[in-house]
Amino acid sequence: MALLQIAEPGQSSAPHEHRIAIGIDLGTTHSLVATMRSGQAKVLPDEQGRVLLPSIVYYGAPLSYGEEAKPFITQDPKNTIVSVKRFMGRSQADIKFQHPYELVGEANEMPAFQTHAGAKTPVEISADILKQLKIRAEKSIEQPINGAVITVPAYFDEAQRQATRDAAQLAGLNVLRLLNEPTAAAVAYGLDQESTLTTDRNYVIYDLGGGTFDVSILRFSKGVFEVLATGGHTALGGDDLDRLIVKWAKQQLNIDTLSDIEYAHFMVAARRAKEQLSDAASVELELPNHQLALDRPTFERIIQVALDHSISVCKRVIRDAKLELTDIHNVVLVGGSTRSYAVQQAVARFFEQTPLCSINPDEVVAIGAAITADQLIGNIKDGSLLLDVTPLSLGLETMGGLVERLISRNTAIPVARRQEFTTYQDGQTAMLIHVVQGERDLVEHCRSLGRFVLHGIPPMTAGQARIEVTFQVDADGLLAVSAKETTSGVEARIDIKPSYGLADQDMQRLLLEGFEYAAQDKELRHLQETKVEAQRELEALEQALKADQHLLEASQLDALENARTALQAQLETQDIKAIEQAVEQLKIYSDAFAAIRMNRHIDHALKGTKLDDWSNSTSE
Ligand code: ADP
Ligand code: MG
């Protein structure tokens, strides 16, 4: 996990050994592994030269994976698990789609598949698939694997992500990050490298895989990459196209019901026909005891309902991003199902442009994951690489030990944020900028990244100076913080560079604490803010007394001093209510004092002004 640590400004990153990281696309239908080789991301084949590992495990004899497990889908469907990704992080009650498995477990629990090899949870089955890819990578690279990036659909919820993370850990992989699949595709296409563009660019990533549909809108603006909106459907993909073909075939052949075995045969035939249709105009559906012809127009008609569904999701996401169709510069196709001519046509028609598919749509996600993995493990080259998001929030310390967040967690980078701050005291000429990272509201609960002092602020009344603080996280993960006083132009800055040493546990702890203490933090923040406000009040009063104490009568001064002492005493406590009351009390007297001062100054001003001048200047 990337966290930011301090380095001396201008110091280049220390030389380090080359470490091996892999990117894994753990797909519903297929899974792949890729790694960086001589600066290029490459998918890794198995010993037979096959790149796609079908996400299938046969829990019988012999225990088989991938292509070898495929024949058992029809021979022994109950023990041959396919599309396990659909079950990840789901309870029994969530699973409403048709499947041939015997699931055990309570309704609100993660189910287990009853197999010859015993009960297997979706996490264990996914781990078995990941292990195969890990072995493949180790054989191919001939070096131990230091870390892995695993991709997940953008809309995977916490339970699904956690299940994926657990599976990877069970497979013995060091998870550097779970990366959203559309982000990986964007990285693979180098969309983050288009920083030379001067105008904004919006891209749509349309990912129609085996079991899931995912559409995302990414924007590039002045070299900054951000995710504008995502949407999708956990149950829309190539499998559904296959089901629609089976449904159609049943109607054509007047078949009412199919046994599990027959159904599996129909599904295999439907899928084969669908895939062949991407290269041929018409194909034969090879069903047990039946032959049925299927051509492209018929196929397009059969799957229209699924295509319409995917397009309506696109419409919604574009609306969420507050964009028009004409704002979309390119559409990127991802996922095996986008090989279907009918899908490409539907996308082209809706977006009124030819979608991008120059990178193999099966491999593009794994390639992006490999690039990200290489970067996260610390093999950063001179060229800029995209760290897709900031793992924790970045901010700075304000009065009272509070954190003001400038860049929140999960912000796509590179990114720059600017905010104005001001001085706290009259005549203040220096300001301490303390950069911190974490999700908590108090500085002491966050991680300190570094501090620097902005000197040379011209003396002004408190609150008048304008200090612009800029946080900039570059494409290579480098955070630069600068502070500039706008009237004088004095400036100071610090460079903070990424380190990859933070253990997952620390990251987890920082994140969890953020959630856990949210309520408590709010309380503490309120207390700190109240105290800062009170301090400000006291200091303003102090200045006023210095200048105009003589305007007060002895009794007035006494009342004021008493209220001041009372507030000072309350500031030692944690009692927000009591502090607020003491401030209110003090304000009664200090406001009265302010009124006396004001009258006095106006008197003074009027004395030196002729009445004519006064009316002239106001009427101008
Ligand atoms: P996932 O990421 O969900 O595992 P993939 O991206 O591997 O899915 O896509 C798998 C889907 O792509 C399957 O439904 C498969 O039938 C379909 N597919 C693969 N090749 C083709 C092809 N040539 N034409 C149409 N569909 C295809
Ligand atoms: Mg996929």
168 found inside a domain: yes
Interatomic CA distance for residues 185 and 207, integer angstroms: 9
**Residue where a domain stops, chosen among 331, 365, 388:** 388
Q: Which of 246, 275, 310 to mutate to test the pocket of ligand 1 (most atoms within 8 A of CB)?
A: 275
- Measure Cα distances from 575 to 209, 537, 562, 614 in Å: 57, 18, 19, 49
Tell me if 130 sits within 8 A of 151, measured CB to CB. no
β-bridge partners, 333: 206
Interatomic CA distance for residues 66 and 71, integer angstroms: 10
Tell me if 118 sits within 8 A of 147, measured CB to CB. no
Interatomic CA distance for residues 248 and 317, integer angstroms: 31
616 found inside a domain: no
Looking at the fold, whether 440 and 545 belong to one and the same domain comes out as no
Give the nearest ligand 1 atom to 334 CA. 6
Looking at the fold, whether 570 and 447 belong to one and the same domain comes out as no
Looking at the fold, whether 226 and 340 belong to one and the same domain comes out as yes
Contact residues for 21 (Cβ-Cβ < 8 A; gap 6+): 35, 36, 145, 146, 147, 148, 149, 176, 370, 373, 374, 376, 377, 379
Looking at the fold, whether 528 and 448 belong to one and the same domain comes out as no
**Residue where a domain stops, chosen among 516, 540, 566:** 516
Looking at the fold, whether 489 and 577 belong to one and the same domain comes out as no
Count of beta carbons in the 10 Å neighbourhood of residue 74: 18
**Residue 171: CA count within 13 A, CB half-sphere:** 30
Q: What is the CATH number of the domain that holds 577?
A: 1.20.1270.10
**Residue where a domain stops, chosen among 462, 489, 516:** 516
Residues with CB under 5 A from ligand 2 (ion): 27, 209, 335
Q: Give distance in angstroms: CA of 257 to centre of ligand 1.
A: 26
Q: Looking at 153-270, which runs of residues are DSSP E strands?
A: 175-180, 201-208, 213-221, 224-233
Distance of CA 31 to the CA centre of its chain: 22
Before 414, cis peptide (omega within 30)? yes
Q: Which of 133, 206, 274 to mutate to test the pocket of ligand 1 (most atoms within 8 A of CB)?
A: 274
Interatomic CA distance for residues 496 and 472, integer angstroms: 10
308 a catalytic residue? no
486 found inside a domain: yes
* Angle, alpha carbons 573-574-575 (nearest 5°): 95
DSSP per-residue codes, 127-162:
HHHHHHHHHHHHHHH-S---EEEEEE-TT--HHHHH
pLDDT of 499 reads: 38
Q: Give distance in angstroms: CA of 498 to centre of ligand 1.
A: 37
Domain count along the chain: 3
Instruction: Output the furthest CA–CA distance in the chain (Å, rounded).
Output: 111
Count of beta carbons in the 10 Å neighbourhood of residue 165: 18
Q: What is the pTM of this model?
A: 0.58
6 found inside a domain: no
Looking at the fold, whether 83 and 177 belong to one and the same domain comes out as yes
Give the nearest ligand 1 atom to 279 CA. 23
Q: Give distance in angstroms: CA of 182 to centre of ligand 2.
A: 10
Q: Annotated catalytic residue: which of 166, 207, 239, 439?
A: 207
pLDDT of 34 reads: 98
476 a catalytic residue? no
Q: Which two tokens stand for residue 246?
A: 């089976």
Tell me if 426 sits within 8 A of 543, measured CB to CB. yes
Q: In what order do the strands lie in the sheet with 64-65?
A: 64-65, 56-58, 80-82
Return the closest-CA partner of residue 128 out of 172, 73, 68.
Answer: 172
Count of beta carbons in the 10 Å neighbourhood of residue 242: 23
Looking at the fold, whether 477 and 532 belong to one and the same domain comes out as no
Tell me if 249 sits within 8 A of 292, measured CB to CB. yes
DSSP reduced 3-state for 618: helix
Q: Give distance in angstroms: CA of 28 to centre of ligand 2.
A: 7
Q: In degrees to the nearest 10, what's the CA dihedral of 219, 224, 225, 226?
A: -70
Looking at the fold, whether 110 and 210 belong to one and the same domain comes out as yes
Interatomic CA distance for residues 144 and 327, integer angstroms: 45
Residue with CA closest to ligand 1 atom 24: 275
Interatomic CA distance for residues 155 and 149, integer angstroms: 17
Looking at the fold, whether 541 and 481 belong to one and the same domain comes out as no
β-bridge partners, 232: 214
Q: Are strands 147-152 and 21-26 parallel, antiparallel or unpaired?
A: parallel
Helix (H), strand (E), coil (C) string for 299-348: HHHHCHHHHHHHHHHHHHHHHHCCCCHHHEEEEEEECHHHHCHHHHHHHH
Looking at the fold, whether 396 and 407 belong to one and the same domain comes out as yes
> What is the phi/psi pair of residue 600, to 5°?
-60, -45
Phi-psi region of 450 (alpha: psi -120 to 50; beta: other; left: phi over 0): left
For residue 500, give the DSSP letter. -
Return the closest-CA partner of residue 25 out of 11, 39, 43, 9.
Answer: 43
**Ligand 1 pocket, Cβ-based, cut-off 6 angstroms:** 27-30, 209-212, 237-239, 271, 274-275, 278, 335-337, 339-340, 362
504 a catalytic residue? no
Q: Are strands 282-287 and 112-115 parallel, antiparallel or unpaired?
A: unpaired
Q: Annotated catalytic residue: which of 85, 134, 274, 497?
A: 85
Helix, strand, coil shares, percent, the chain, to 5? 40, 25, 35
Contact residues for 591 (Cβ-Cβ < 8 A; gap 6+): none
pLDDT of 618 reads: 36
For residue 452, give the DSSP letter. E
Residue with CA closest to ligand 1 atom 12: 336
Q: What is the CATH number of the domain that holds 335?
A: 3.30.420.40
Contact residues for 237 (Cβ-Cβ < 8 A; gap 6+): 28, 29, 208, 209, 210, 211, 212, 213, 335, 337
Q: What is the CATH number of the domain that holds 400?
A: 2.60.34.10
Give the nearest ligand 1 atom to 241 CA. 14
> What is the phi/psi pair of residue 211, to 5°?
-125, -10
DSSP per-residue codes, 23-53:
EEEE-SSEEEEEEEETTEEEEPP-TTS---E
Which residue has tokens 């201008």? 10
Return the closest-CA partner of residue 541 out of 522, 559, 529.
Answer: 559
| Angle, in degrees to the nearest 10, between helices 364-376 and 181-188 | 90
Residue type, 178: L
Task: List the domain range (segments joined by +) for residue 598.
Answer: 519-606
12 found inside a domain: no
Q: Give distance in angstroms: CA of 232 to centre of ligand 2.
A: 13
Return the closest-CA partner of residue 64 out of 114, 132, 111.
Answer: 132
617 found inside a domain: no
CA dihedral sign, ordered 19, 25, 31, 36: negative
Residue with CA closest to ligand 1 atom 22: 275
**What does the radius of gyration of the chain's CA atoms come to, in whole angstroms?**
32
Pick the ligand that lies closest to the CA of residue 368: 2
pLDDT of 509 reads: 62
85 a catalytic residue? yes
Segments in the chain below pLDDT 50: 1-16, 381-387, 476, 498-504, 608-620
Looking at the fold, whether 481 and 596 belong to one and the same domain comes out as no
161 found inside a domain: yes
DSSP reduced 3-state for 182: helix
For residue 62, give the DSSP letter. S
Give the nearest ligand 1 atom to 29 CA. 4
Give the nearest ligand 1 atom to 274 CA. 25
Looking at the fold, whether 454 and 549 belong to one and the same domain comes out as no
